[in-house]
Structure 1
Amino acid sequence: MARFSFNQATAKFWPLPELVAGCAEAGVPAVGLWREPVAEHGLARSAALVREAGLSVSSLCRGGFFGADDWLEDNRRALDEAAELGAPALVLVCGGLFGRDLDTARSRVAAGLEALAPYALDVGVRLAVEPMHPMFCADRSVVTTLDAALALAAPFPPEAVGIALDTYHVWWDERVWSLLAGAGPRIACFQLADWILPLPADVLVGRGLPGTGHIEFPRFLAGVAAAGYTGPIEVEVFNAELWQRPGREILHETIRAYRACSPS
């Protein structure tokens, strides 16, 4: 449990004060936060709430969407928010095509990182490029493989640009295991979610708690450990059915799932 982090998205409708209180009571040491509910509660109030509960923030989601008109201003704001919350990483969902061809859309991601990396260093928050499953390429992220994410991060210092490794998005790629061996210094955020079947009509909300689907979590955990990553391990699950349950129940079910797949 010392490395467990409960990502806010796993209990989407649980108000932030109740989530923080529930995590503190359950002995959860960290939370992964999202910008929208933080803004709703108030940035300064959210930072104080988490700090006074004795929790840390493992990541803030999300920045990115480099095809949007206001991407630079929005990402600088997101970095400022992460710094105030004490989050070491800003997870980047890099954005889909935005009406552009694939090569142009991907080049905008590289240009965006180049523009933001100096500011990330200034505020002490790592940009964490998240490779996403290829089915989200058109609308959410043109970065679809761990190899591509590592290549985008490579020109920058690891303390400025790293990767967000989400099992749900990369489990299918046979190159993951060889790439993980050298990825340790670049892993800024590590998230667990399972691939379940059948997929719902809205695939975005069809993830499962660890152990309910087809992903080899012991292999991932061992591979990430061998790579030298010692940071928080978040559970981030988008699941419409799970979201209908009480937040405290979701939290305790998530803890059970995490413990079942983690080394003793």
Structure 2
Amino acid sequence: MTVKQLSMPELVDTCVELGVPGVGLWREPVQSYGVEATAKLVRDAGLSVTTLCRGGFFTAIDPDERAKALDDNRRAVDEAATLGTDVLVLVSGGLPAGSKDLHGARERIADALAVLGPYAQEHGVKLAIEPLHPMYASDRCVVSTLAQALDLAERFPAHQVGVTVDTYHIWWDDAAPAQIARAGAGGRIHTFQLADWTTPLPEGVLTGRGQIGDGAIDMREWKGYVEAAGYDGPIEVELFNDGLWARDGREVLAETASRFVEHTG
């Protein structure tokens, strides 16, 4: 999504040219290009798929809506397995319309994980709960902190359910470093993502993720926390930014790779 303006073949070609070894994919462009076709394209280029994003949205109250969400998440697991990644990132869902019951919404997430965890395990896929910044709690994700994500994940085996550590969403939380250590001790850090926090945020905030180095987050510090917790897997950069999307995608990807080296090395 950092360079969503690139077609799938352009993305793959540019990664190869820049020496980027893996790519985290989103379901919509994968489905548009074709799941099997994407898997072949990436595999033939020698790239790995680090994660697939996203599953989730488990908080509906209506039984039919909940059943549809579970079916869609099973498809997401199938897609992840086809693409060759073992991590499906979950955005858990916000409050249903008219509801103010955060606790009930979080319990419905647990109910869904109880169904999906074993299904994912059967397909060689792990579920990674991503806590989102509290500004998203009402409409996108009632899981706002790593502590909340781990409280859910730890009800299930680590090879079924863990967490996503995303700097953009947790950098403000002074309890997050200790929660990263907790997640690492339990083998539950399933992916690590970078994006910077810049101000002022744009209207709608969803596309406010800043290029690495442009904002308030010390990427090297957070990388240190994750490494100290034992994580040695891929590190992704995930930027939603209208300004970056308006530029040449190959240029943006080269810049992103350069910034990653500069600010995490």
Deviation at 1:209, TM superposition (A): 1.4
The one-letter amino acid paired with 1:15 is S
**Aligned: 1:36 with 2:28:** yes
Q: For the residues of structure 2 that align with 1:82 and 1:31, how far apart are their CA atoms? A: 13
Q: For the residues of structure 2 that align with 1:109 and 1:123, how far apart are their CA atoms? A: 20
The one-letter amino acid paired with 2:210 is G
- 1:90 partner SS: strand
The one-letter amino acid paired with 2:258 is R
Q: Match for residue 90 of structure 2?
A: 92
- 1:33 partner SS: strand
Deviation at 1:255, TM superposition (A): 0.6
Deviation at 1:105, TM superposition (A): 1.2
* 1:52-91 alignment runs, 5 A limit: 52-68=44-60, 69=65, 70-91=68-89
Structure 1's unaligned 5+ residue stretches are 1-8
The one-letter amino acid paired with 2:193 is Q
Q: For the residues of structure 1 that align with 2:85 and 2:139, how far apart are their CA atoms? A: 26
Q: Match for residue 192 of structure 1?
A: 194
* 1:199-214 alignment runs, 5 A limit: 199-214=201-216
- 1:10 partner SS: coil
1:138-179 superposed Cα distances (whole Å, 9 cap, x missing partner): 111000000000111102111110101110000000101111
What's the RMSD between the two structures over aligned residues? 0.9
Q: Which runs of 4+ in 1 moved over 3 A?
A: none
Deviation at 1:182, TM superposition (A): 2.3
Q: Match for residue 13 of structure 2?
A: 21
Deviation at 1:124, TM superposition (A): 0.6
Q: Match for residue 247 of structure 1?
A: 249
TM-score, normalization by structure 1: 0.95
- 1:47 partner SS: helix
- 2:206 partner SS: helix
Deviation at 1:67, TM superposition (A): 2.8
* 1:76-155 alignment runs, 5 A limit: 76-99=74-97, 100=99, 101-155=101-155
> Identity rate of aligned residues, in percent?
55
- 1:91 partner SS: strand
Question: Are the aligned partners of 2:59 and 2:106 in contact in 1 as well (CA < 8 Å)?
Answer: no
The one-letter amino acid paired with 1:257 is R
Q: Match for residue 4 of structure 1?
A: none
Give the aligned length. Answer: 255
Q: Match for residue 230 of structure 2?
A: 228
Q: Match for residue 165 of structure 1?
A: 165
The one-letter amino acid paired with 1:19 is L
- 1:63 partner SS: strand
Q: For the residues of structure 2 that align with 1:261 and 1:22, how far apart are their CA atoms? A: 21
Q: For the residues of structure 2 that align with 1:98 and 1:207, how far apart are their CA atoms? A: 26
Q: For the residues of structure 1 that align with 2:225 and 2:188, how far apart are their CA atoms? A: 14
1:52-80 superposed Cα distances (whole Å, 9 cap, x missing partner): 00000000000000135111100000000
1:120-153 superposed Cα distances (whole Å, 9 cap, x missing partner): 1100100000000000001110000000001111
Q: Match for residue 3 of structure 1?
A: none
Q: For the residues of structure 1 that align with 2:191 and 2:227, how far apart are their CA atoms? A: 13
Deviation at 1:250, TM superposition (A): 0.8
Q: Match for residue 182 of structure 2?
A: 182
Q: For the residues of structure 1 that align with 2:201 and 2:3, how far apart are their CA atoms? A: 20
